[in-house]
Structure 1
Amino acid sequence: MALTSASVPAQGLPKTVNIATNPAGTLYYGLTSGIAATLAANAPFKAEAAPYSGTSTFMPLLNEGREVDFGMVNAVDMGMAYVGPGKRKIGGKNPFRRSPNVRLVVRGGAMQVGVYVPKNSPIHHVRDAKGRKMSGEYPAHQAVWYNGLGNLSSCGLSWGDVNVVPVPAVNDGMDALKDGRVEVSMHAVGSGKVREVDAAIGVRMVRICDDTEAQKRVAKTVPGYSIMKFKPGSSVGVSEPASAVSYDVYLGTSKSMSDQVVYEVVKGLWNGQKTLFTKHPILKRWTKERFASDEVTIPYHPGAIKFFKEKGVWTDAMEKHQQELLRESM
């Protein structure tokens, strides 16, 4: 049961909060476990990862403030869900139910989703994926559909240029690659699932188009996306120069969540930076300097704003953007 302002006693705090995330083996699950461990050591309550098949599954629960207390989500998905399909579409669609009650706790670090093939595949660039069997659709995990659209768009391609093999969610796509049912799939760079499939069959991350014009194509196709380049040996499966789409990761909640609980979560992550950085290499990107920003896609929770104001990092520009976002969902 989620902890709303009504279910948290005014004089106390919960013993445990949950953080909805993607399944075990995904990068999100690894990051969430690290955040939960950091809060256990630096906040007045414990936290635990609550795996779901994907963002599409738990976003409605987060919006309603039931079953889910917090959620690990990406900036693009959250922005689309916040205003709803009536106001914003990307790639010609918005599959997310309107979620005007979601609020931001902290803006975390960026993550990347790469395109993977078996290591002996003749495919070395995403251009080579044209006409090939590629895992797609992702009805339980729509974020991955956008990951694919962004990666393909770097070279002026779209989902219509590949032979889509439907899979429910991101891990299923890599399982299909392992089993030989697809020739191309995607996953978060450096994730446990990529390591698992690499151990089974050997995988290689391919390069997407990553020049200045490609950056512009990606940003136009999926606003909020950029491109990151990888040197050989920098991550599992990166045996030659590679690149992938990149975007911010958020820790979100519902506006019904207790101000004090959110305040303590932000405080725990702020003061627990040393602990946080040891829990996962990518959590080193979750620096406190990134937590408050005027470039976010959903409004902050009042409990987070209270903490930021106490630390002197909440600016006039952030307040202006906050009010603009609140009006946007009306």
Structure 2
Amino acid sequence: MPVDVRTMEKSGAAGVRLPIRIGATQRGRNRSMKRLILFLIALPFVGAGAASAQTIGFATLPPGAINNVQAQVIAKVVQAHTDLKVRVTPYRGGGAVAAAVNSKRAEIGISDAVEITDALTGTHRFKGRPHPNLRVAFRVLSFPISIFVRTDSPIKTMKDMKGKKFGTRWSAFPNMIPLMNGLLATAGLSLKDVEGVPTANIIRGANDFKAGKSDAFGFAIGAPKVAEVNSAVGGVRVLPIDNSPAGIARMKAVRSDYFPMLLKPHPRFVGVLEPTWVMGTDLVIYCGAHVPDDVIYKFVTAVHPNKKELAQGHPSFNGFQPKNMNKQFATVKYHPGAIKFYKEAGIQQGK
């Protein structure tokens, strides 16, 4: 019967070892040793594979904001079509997102073109605090925004907002100040004409409305939070802007990149009960100048042909126009990695 190597026998005075058969215990040890050797041989290649799967940070707004959902969807598409690993991280407001990208704590950010322009140039709410490291990767879509009231509210137009309780200050999300002023400006009003209800951010402002602390709230049309509030209060309605030439001129005096949009009723547009003119701004994905060209090239290349996958993730991406994803902006510039792709794709516009 088989014997263990430790039971080897000796023969004669010379102590010559006789041939033996290696037992089950030794065979098990040999198999373990082979596995260890194979693992050690493969280890350098495993390390190389892990190194090639670069992780990048994608900064966005808190859960409940439509930007958060859109960032999650974009990250999923990029990961499915590249070797990049995208870590989506929420920040309390757009200013914090811009600061994270500018300071190299994140590679990618999401916001509207107006906020990026202000941050880059150190103007308006970023006065004295320029963020020179910001570059555009691509334009996502036209972003509709308006003011919401209860369906049965006596507030019917923007002019009716005068003297009404409405969110102000926006300490954690100051970008709401120009957005709300742009909307109100179409009716010749501003935040100075409402009864201010100090709030921190868009989520808090919506919760204040839900709790009855305010008469209206501002939000992106199509955002998950709007659907939540709609269910909680028994229905909400979007206020239309004054889209007359004079109204549009007043809106653009707040920020020149704002523009009117006509929305028609659709399940994803909660609160749009009839064809309604609202304010639009360009939603952009931006990045840091420090991000390697090949990373942004991969990122943009993954997004461009995959509108269908994006729209499956969130219906707002039905508004994504690949041929217009590099719109020319007045101030902000595109990242070299993005420009490389646009040249190859034959859709060179932005610089």
Segment of structure 1 superposing worse, 149-158 or 41-50: 41-50
Secondary structure of the structure 2 residue equivalent to 1:306: helix
Query: Which of residues 293, 305, 330 in structure 1 aligns to 2:339?
Result: 305
Query: Which of residues 157, 171, 186 in structure 2 aligns to 1:125?
Result: 157
**What is aligned with 2:109?**
71
Tell me how far apart the structure 2 counterparts of residues 265 and 171 of structure 1 sit (CA, whole Å).
29
Tell me how far apart the structure 2 counterparts of residues 46 and 187 of structure 1 sit (CA, whole Å).
30
Deviations 1:171-215 (A, max 9, x none): 111100000011111010011000000010022111221222212
Normalising by structure 1, we get a TM-score of: 0.86
Query: Which of residues 9, 18, 24 in structure 1 aligns to 2:63?
Result: 24
Deviations 1:263-314 (A, max 9, x none): 1001111132331232211112222211223235411111111212222322
Segment of structure 1 superposing worse, 284-293 or 23-32: 284-293
Secondary structure of the structure 1 residue equivalent to 2:304: helix
**What is aligned with 1:327?**
none
Tell me how far apart the structure 2 counterparts of residues 242 and 287 of structure 1 sit (CA, whole Å).
22
Segment of structure 1 superposing worse, 173-182 or 111-120: 111-120
Secondary structure of the structure 2 residue equivalent to 1:245: strand
**What is aligned with 1:6?**
none
Q: Tell me: CA distance 1:210–1:148, structure 2 relative to 1, closer, same or farther (3 Å).
A: same
- One-letter amino acid of the structure 1 residue matched with residue 113 of structure 2: A
Query: 2:61, 2:97 within 8 Å by CA — same for their partners in 1?
Result: no
Tell me how far apart the structure 2 counterparts of residues 160 and 179 of structure 1 sit (CA, whole Å).
23
Offset at residue 119 of structure 1 (A): 1.9
Structure 2 residue 271 is matched with structure 1 residue 237:
yes
Tell me how far apart the structure 1 counterparts of residues 210 and 96 of structure 2 sit (CA, whole Å).
25
Offset at residue 116 of structure 1 (A): 0.7
Secondary structure of the structure 2 residue equivalent to 1:109: strand
- One-letter amino acid of the structure 1 residue matched with residue 314 of structure 2: H
Tell me how far apart the structure 1 counterparts of residues 207 and 248 of structure 2 sit (CA, whole Å).
30
Q: Which runs of 4 or more aligned residues in structure 1 lie more than 4 Å from their structure 2 counterparts after TM superposition?
A: 93-96
Query: 2:53, 2:84 within 8 Å by CA — same for their partners in 1?
Result: yes
**What is aligned with 1:98?**
130
Deviations 1:147-173 (A, max 9, x none): 100000011111111111110101111
Q: How do 1:252-263 and structure 2 match up within 5 A?
A: 252-263=286-297
Offset at residue 71 of structure 1 (A): 0.4
| Structure 1, unpaired ranges of 5+ | 1-8, 323-330
**Larger radius of gyration, structure 1 or 2?**
2
- One-letter amino acid of the structure 2 residue matched with residue 70 of structure 1: I
Tell me how far apart the structure 2 counterparts of residues 241 and 128 of structure 1 sit (CA, whole Å).
19
Structure 2 residue 85 is matched with structure 1 residue 46:
yes
Q: Tell me: CA distance 1:188–1:35, structure 2 relative to 1, closer, same or farther (3 Å).
A: same
- One-letter amino acid of the structure 1 residue matched with residue 184 of structure 2: L
| Structure 2, unpaired ranges of 5+ | 1-47
Tell me how far apart the structure 2 counterparts of residues 289 and 31 of structure 1 sit (CA, whole Å).
19
Secondary structure of the structure 2 residue equivalent to 1:175: helix
Query: 1:60, 1:97 within 8 Å by CA — same for their partners in 2?
Result: no
- The one of the two structures with greater contact order (alpha-carbon pairs below 8 A, sep at least 6) is 1
Offset at residue 63 of structure 1 (A): 0.7
- One-letter amino acid of the structure 2 residue matched with residue 65 of structure 1: K
Normalising by structure 2, we get a TM-score of: 0.81
Query: 2:206, 2:218 within 8 Å by CA — same for their partners in 1?
Result: yes
Structure 2 residue 67 is matched with structure 1 residue 33:
no
**What is aligned with 1:80?**
118
Q: How do 1:142-221 and structure 2 match up within 5 A?
A: 142-201=174-233, 202-221=235-254
Q: What root-mean-square deviation, in Å, do the aligned CA atoms of Structure 1 and Structure 2 show? A: 2.0
Segment of structure 1 superposing worse, 292-301 or 124-133: 292-301
Structure 2 residue 348 is matched with structure 1 residue 314:
yes
Query: 1:75, 1:296 within 8 Å by CA — same for their partners in 2?
Result: no
- One-letter amino acid of the structure 2 residue matched with residue 49 of structure 1: V
Query: 1:23, 1:53 within 8 Å by CA — same for their partners in 2?
Result: yes
Secondary structure of the structure 1 residue equivalent to 2:175: helix
Tell me how far apart the structure 2 counterparts of residues 43 and 139 of structure 1 sit (CA, whole Å).
37
Query: 1:127, 1:208 within 8 Å by CA — same for their partners in 2?
Result: no
Deviations 1:18-64 (A, max 9, x none): 21111111111121111111112112223232111111112112111
Query: 2:222, 2:270 within 8 Å by CA — same for their partners in 1?
Result: yes
Secondary structure of the structure 1 residue equivalent to 2:142: strand
Query: 2:144, 2:278 within 8 Å by CA — same for their partners in 1?
Result: yes
Query: 1:114, 1:243 within 8 Å by CA — same for their partners in 2?
Result: no
Identical-pair percentage? 29
**What is aligned with 1:325?**
none
Q: Tell me: CA distance 1:209–1:54, structure 2 relative to 1, closer, same or farther (3 Å).
A: same
Q: Tell me: CA distance 1:96–1:125, structure 2 relative to 1, closer, same or farther (3 Å).
A: farther
Query: 2:163, 2:193 within 8 Å by CA — same for their partners in 1?
Result: yes
**What is aligned with 2:316?**
282
Tell me how far apart the structure 1 counterparts of residues 128 and 194 of structure 2 sit (CA, whole Å).
24
Q: Tell me: CA distance 1:42–1:296, structure 2 relative to 1, closer, same or farther (3 Å).
A: farther
